[in-house]
Amino acid sequence: MTLRSGNSDHLHCVTPAAIAQGLSRGMALADARALCPDLATRPADLAREAAALAALCRWAGRYAPMVARDGADGLMADISGVPHLFGGEVALRDDLQSRLEQSGLAANSAVAGTRGAAHALARHGGGIVPDGRLIEGIGHLPIGALRLDYDTVSGLGRMGLSRIGDLVPLPRAPLARRFGQGLVMRLDQALGQYAEPVTAAADAPHFGVRITLPEPIGLQSDVMAALERLLARLCVKLSQHHMGARRVRLELRRVDQGAAQVEIGLARPMNDPARIAALFVKGVEKIEAGFGIDALRLTAPVLESLAPEQISTHHDVQREDELADLLSSLGNRIGFDRVLRLLPAESLIPERSHLVAPAAYSAPEPVPPHTGPLRPITLFPPEAVTGPSGNPPARFRWRRMHFTTLRATGPERITPEWWFDDPAWRNGLRDYWRIETKQGPRLWLFSTPQTAHGSPNWYVQGEFA
């Protein structure tokens, strides 16, 4: 397995056969290939690796009540009081190893009296340290096994201390003064003089609530009442975790095992039950209740963090809330990708001088004051004019109307952005003209002087106020 960090590939994981060839973790891929030309590599997928470790962590629950992750590649289980169920520590470790081997995992395990000692031993061969003989058990391991940083390990190595056993008889005060409290703490943790309990990671909060009803309901008002109860519970949970929902899904189970589902989107993260309930009304109207609904489940599949805000009766805040409600209800009917907002962008190309972004997923940005030549109020894809005469054209036809030029301002030359390959700008730079016509409309015309053959083509792209 290789992992790309910075701009070079490193070995992330190696097989035992590769270790035999002299490869090691963290080695640059180029060096590894020099050592072993027929090396087969795959890119590492950290997310899937973490998921696999989490699954293994759940599985390891069969050996101990408390299982925690230990670094990115290890698990730590607190097996106090457990081994006699498997027939002793040795039998337990054999059982674990054989099961892992059966599933195709090459793993090392160690049993020791402390967390630090088990960590050290598992990464250097594995084994079992009997109770009360910690120093003998891990004394022969290199100091790097103590979870120390590289500087400390190399500093100790320069002093001739390379084994854990070398550290134990040394006086503590000079060690701490020279290498910091970290070294002494790690040593104490490994030897059991400093407590380090195994704690399982807290479960991620689940944002879903449900209600089961003794009697089936069918009225719209009853469903709304049940929804309000669920929403109140969900919103309390959301606000406790400082989260806001972006989508809320209501699943209903009918007595005849049918199911219905209503899902709404919100224009901004929200945990206010009354305002979310208002958006559900339209969806709940359409539910087919059949013989009645006897269970409801409310989940928030898409979440965003929502910091607590000062409650305010200020006019602006209220208006913002009401506008967000309007955008939510519009988005739920016509789609959130059709509720848009214009954002300024850094480009001189007319089409890219602003972004059209969904209003629910963007904040308004101040428009920089306009400088330079005038810009039209409306913009559309270029439309070719027919029968232009002259440069700029004195007469032309566009959209089946005849126009006579009264005044022309320009040209304003805009060159394409070479770092984007825009098909609309393939025919080179454009000369933009503001053409006032005798007929009234003030149009934004451009010509493409770089076209290969014939006279330049003229196009209309905008209309001025």
Partner 1 sequence: MRPEMDPFALRSARVHEAEGRGRRAFALFQAARHPGPLIWILPAHIPEVPMLRGLPQGVGERLHLLRPSTEMDLLWCIEEALQAVPVGLVIAEAQKPLSFLAGRRQQLAAETGRTTGLMLIQTGAGSNAAETRWQCQPLASLQKTSADSTLHCWNTIKNKSGTCKNWTINWNGTSTAFHMVSEARERHEPAQPPR
Tokens of 339: 């509720």
Q: Which of 461, 462, 465, 463 is nearest to 384 (CA)?
A: 461
Nearer to partner 1, 272 or 463 (CB): 463
Nearer to partner 1, 115 or 442 (CB): 442
Tokens of 267: 């224009």
Nearer to partner 1, 296 or 460 (CB): 460
Residues in the chain: 465
Contacts with partner 1 by CB under 8 A lie at 319-320, 322-323, 325-327, 329-330, 333-334, 338-344, 350, 353-354, 356, 359, 364-367, 369-370, 374-381, 406-407, 436-442, 462-465
Which residues, in sequence order, are CB contacts of 352 under 8 Å at separation 6+? 345, 417
Distance of CA 406 to CAs 302, 393, 440, 446, Å? 57, 10, 9, 16
CB of 374 to partner 1, least distance (A): 7
Nearer to partner 1, 219 or 406 (CB): 406
CB of 54 to partner 1, least distance (A): 43
Nearer to partner 1, 136 or 417 (CB): 417
Are 342 and 354 contacting, i.e. CB atoms less than 8 angstroms apart?
yes
CB of 322 to partner 1, least distance (A): 4
CB of 29 to partner 1, least distance (A): 48
CB of 238 to partner 1, least distance (A): 25
Nearer to partner 1, 210 or 338 (CB): 338
CB of 350 to partner 1, least distance (A): 7
Distance from C-alpha of 253 to C-alpha of 292, rounded to nearest angstrom = 9
Nearer to partner 1, 44 or 349 (CB): 349
3-state secondary structure of 305: strand
CB of 57 to partner 1, least distance (A): 47
End-to-end C-alpha distance for the chain, whole angstroms:
62
CB of 314 to partner 1, least distance (A): 13
Q: Are strands 127-128 and 110-111 parallel, antiparallel or unpaired?
A: parallel
Distance from C-alpha of 111 to C-alpha of 113, rounded to nearest angstrom = 7
CB of 443 to partner 1, least distance (A): 10
Nearer to partner 1, 219 or 348 (CB): 348
Nearer to partner 1, 29 or 340 (CB): 340
Give the DSSP letter string of 431-458.
EEEEEEETTS-EEEEEE-TT-SSSSPPE
Which residues, in sequence order, are CB contacts of 240 under 8 Å at separation 6+? none
| 262-267 contacts, C-beta under 8 A, 24 or more apart | 262/286, 262/287, 264/328, 264/332, 265/328, 265/331, 265/332, 265/336, 265/360, 266/324, 266/328, 266/360, 267/324, 267/325, 267/327, 267/328, 267/331, 267/336, 267/339, 267/359, 267/360
Q: Which of 139, 145, 186 is nearest to 165 (CA)?
A: 139
CB count, 10 Å around CB of 290? 14
